[in-house]
Structure 1
């Protein structure tokens, strides 16, 4: 049942999760998937910009600020575990407007939010170094001025935005840590050497590792490398979309319904979600 923990309690839980050990923070894209992940015992969840955009029939990065804020408020209220917001670039290149948007994001009830060092959408290229650092400092200030204990994750996007330079990535991770980020994140890194470099650059602050494909790293492996948090981005959403497309294509092209074999039953889903509807 939801409503057992307050927003403040969920935020405190989220901070404590980053203090020691290693946890997986999977990415749902609607209330149903969020509640399933909570039922499976995950300690926190994170939104996925790509997963929600694709479910809404849009490319990643094309959703409006208003749509994302409504989605975050809905997700945060649907579970009793903390939610981290994939807040992209704060939905503005302008630092002042970004700060205003961050305050609105905090008001949705999220326990944390991430800010990227690249413009909105999937175009290649990053903000210049000094601008990127100033944006993380401003994000920190916006959260602090809100008076809420919301965890700030700073992301440097070079390895997924056409600039896979580990030296520049390390430089930005160090600077973002100094600028007040609580958690550091360089999506797209894959090797043990790069992971070690990011963990060292974070200077003791938590590091999030994105594990969107079968890279061979287990939770135990990543914990041993000093990773504190593991996310999967839009991968779970793509698993669902992939299954949907494969079965629908079989029906459309071959008139076969084999893909319906062994899927979870309606009664099972009714039972799973029934307890939440009575909350």
Structure 2
């Protein structure tokens, strides 16, 4: 029997070395990462919003589904999607979102405990765990089961209470999350504590901790993702070249452009 994308994605979390997960922001970047040799992909909400000229969190549910369908169609690799806070308020609607996610051909998706409310940015733990449970039940009803990542957003909102973050990840594990993720963890000791406190693969956002892939592997990290940084780096490179064109009258983007042609195959 042919292995499905969801089955392959699940297995990649248990391969003995961290799964390196780049975050495409459109179909072309997805194809490029596949050509470069990555084995799975995950979408980025901030990178997607950037392509629409919006801030992270300003994309609608319908726009998200259109986006992930295009990326799934563009590559043979397993794709996990950043579903932000689930695009739903009640549990029944939330479960429907994740059933629709399975139907798109995604191998997995995330659910985070953010609210979108600057005054109260993170949900109460009991409510957040109930939402993970609803998403997990929908994800695991698929055959094969879709990989659900439970995210604790504390550190992205200046809430640096590690004990609370760990309690949240433990609750999301019990609620059915297959992978656990607390973006923004900033040191080896914190990452080690998280990994020692849970029994699921842990994803780390590459960058904030300023640790290499090898160092993260030594800590026991199962998956390393990039977030929106590659998308913003692409815009940064274009801005640097455009500034030189505008201010100095030169085109110094030649090497980058050639590298882009080679990476994309166009």
Is TM more than 0.5 here? Answer: yes
Identify if the C-alpha distance between structure 1 residues 263 and 144 changes in structure 2 by more than 3 Å, giving closer, same or farther: closer
8 Å Cα contact 1:25-1:230 kept in structure 2: yes
Do residues 244 (structure 1) and 238 (structure 2) align? yes
- 1:147 Cα shift? 4.1
158, 165, 189: which one aligns with 1:162: 158
Asked if structure 1 preserves the Cα contact closer than 8 Å seen for 2:136 and 2:148, the reply is yes
Aligned equivalents of 2:165 and 2:259: distance in 1? 47
- The answer (yes or no) to whether the contact 2:42–2:82 under 8 Å persists in 1 is yes
The TM-score, its normalising length taken from structure 1, stands at 0.88
Match of 2:13 in 1: 18
Shift in CA distance, 221/124, structure 1 to aligned 2, threshold 3 Å: farther
Which of 180, 193, 208 aligns to 2:189? It is 193
59-68 vs 261-270, greater mean Cα deviation = 261-270
Match of 2:205 in 1: 210
Q: CA shift at 1:122, angstroms?
A: 7.0
Q: Which residue of 2 aligns with 1:175?
A: 171
C-alpha distance 24-124 of structure 1, shift in aligned 2 (>3 A): farther
Q: What is the deviation of 1:60?
A: 0.4
Distance 1:183 1:14 in 2: 11
Q: Which runs of 5+ in 1 are unaligned?
A: 274-279
**In structure 2, what is the equivalent of residue 259 of structure 1?**
252
Q: Which secondary structure does the structure 2 equivalent of 1:28 belong to?
A: coil
May I ask how many residue pairs the two structures share in their alignment? 265
1:192/1:265 CA distance change after superposition, 3 Å: closer
| Change beyond 3 A, Cα 1:20–1:122 | farther
Question: Contact 2:35/2:263 (CA < 8 Å) preserved in 1?
Answer: no
**Residues 41 and 107 of structure 1: is their aligned pair in 2 closer, same or farther, counting only changes over 3 Å?**
same
State the Cα distance separating 1:255 from its structure 2 match.
Answer: 5.1
CA contact (8 A) 2:32 2:263 kept: no
Aligned to 1:276: none
| Structure 1 residue 184 displacement after superposition | 0.3
For residues 263 and 38 of structure 2, the distance between their equivalents in structure 1, rounded to whole angstroms, comes to: 21
What is the CA–CA distance in structure 2 between the aligned matches of 1:200 and 1:211, rounded to whole Å? 19
Correspondence list, 1:39-78, <5 A = 39-78=35-74
In structure 2, C-alpha distance between the alignment counterparts of 1:57 and 1:179, rounded to whole Å: 35
Q: Once superposed, what is the RMSD of the aligned Cα atoms? A: 2.2
* Structure 2 residue ranges without an equivalent (≥5): none
